[in-house]
């Protein structure tokens, strides 16, 4: 065990200095975990509380980025102020407030942009912008755009050594215990569509919406 007493831990981001930042979904808190030897935690410090599902955390250039449901916050120079955190800067408040699939996993890509998913606000439904997407923006919140669409709800993504994006997608419910499968998807370029809500898995047509678009 590396650290105990971290209730609700969901997503993590490790700074170059070895501080582990941890987001939560239901606790509304963000923690910082410090360690002198990197083998065992010395202290768990609550650096933010009362937030709206602050699941996603990302660290860049000395600042901690935290994803609430409808906005992205930034805590500058955070490691020098763990016990007296600065007030957050609102990087972007351009996201919907729906709680259903509204909590977010975030990460900076090799292009320096912050990638932020917007899940579908339903089990299965037809949606419009910006739902069922992975979006990206500059670190200051400018240039917000859709990178990929047709994604019910991704809960994790990363880039391979060539800089190409891979991401998970949690499939719809109520078709059976093992149908449809959840997905691991490959998005090497912007603009791709991964089928939700019309197609699930590789080629499973949705019984309600599948007639509107062929999986191919």
Do 5 and 89 fall within a single domain?
Answer: yes
Q: What is the dihedral of CA 79, 85, 90, 93, to 10 degrees?
A: 100
Asked whether residue 204 carries a pLDDT value surpassing 90, the answer given is yes
Same domain, residue pair 178 and 75:
no
User: Among 3, 11, 5, 10, which Cα is nearest to 38's?
Assistant: 3
pLDDT at 196: 97
pLDDT, tens digit (0-9, with 9 covering 90-100), for 87-137: 999 999 999 999 999 999 999 999 999 999 999 999 999 999 999 999 999
pLDDT in tens, 5-54: 999 999 999 999 999 999 999 999 999 999 998 889 999 999 999 999 99
Task: Mark whether 83 and 114 lie in a shared domain.
Answer: no
Residue 178 above 90 pLDDT?
Answer: no
Are 190 and 147 spatial neighbours (Cβ–Cβ below 8 Å)? yes
pTM: 0.95
> For the chain, what is the domain count?
2
- Looking at the fold, whether 38 and 104 belong to one and the same domain comes out as no
Reported as a single tens digit per residue, the pLDDT across 56-73 is 999 999 999 999 999 999
Indicate if 107 and 155 belong to the same structural domain: yes
Residues 105 and 66 in one domain: no
Counting beta carbons within 10 angstroms of the beta carbon of residue 118, is it exposed (0 to 12), middle (13 to 18) or buried (19 or more)? Answer: buried
Structural domain boundaries enclosing 143: 99-216
Let me know whether 126 and 162 are in one domain.
yes
Name, in order, each residue with C-beta under 8 angstroms of 73's C-beta and a sequence gap of 6 or more: 51, 54, 65, 66, 67, 88, 89, 90, 91
Do residues 21 and 46 both lie within one domain?
Answer: yes
Tell me what the mean pLDDT of segment 150-171 comes to. 97
Can you give the C-alpha Rg of the chain in angstroms? 18
């Amino acid at each position: 065990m590396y650290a105990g007493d971290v209730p609700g831990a969901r997503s993590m981001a490790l700074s170059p200095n070895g501080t582990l930042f941890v987001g939560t979904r239901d606790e509304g808190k963000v923690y910082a975990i410090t360690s002198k030897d990197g083998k065992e935690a010395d202290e768990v410090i609550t650096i933010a509380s009362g937030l709206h599902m602050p699941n996603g955390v990302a660290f860049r250039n000395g600042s901690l980025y935290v994803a609430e449901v409808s906005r992205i916050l930034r805590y500058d120079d955070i490691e020098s102020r763990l016990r007296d955190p600065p007030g957050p800067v609102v990087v972007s408040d351009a996201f919907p407030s729906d709680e259903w699939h509204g909590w977010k996993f975030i990460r900076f890509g090799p292009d320096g942009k912050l990638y932020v998913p917007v899940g579908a606000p339903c089990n299965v439904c037809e949606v419009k912008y910006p739902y069922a997407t992975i979006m990206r923006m500059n670190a200051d919140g400018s240039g917000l755009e859709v990178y990929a669409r047709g994604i019910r709800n991704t809960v994790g993504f990363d880039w391979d050594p060539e800089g190409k994006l891979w991401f998970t997608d949690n499939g719809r419910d109520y078709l059976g215990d093992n149908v449809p499968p959840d997905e691991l998807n490959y998005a090497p370029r912007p603009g791709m569509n991964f089928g939700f809500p019309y197609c699930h898995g590789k080629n499973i047509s949705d019984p309600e919406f599948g007639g509107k678009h062929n999986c191919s």
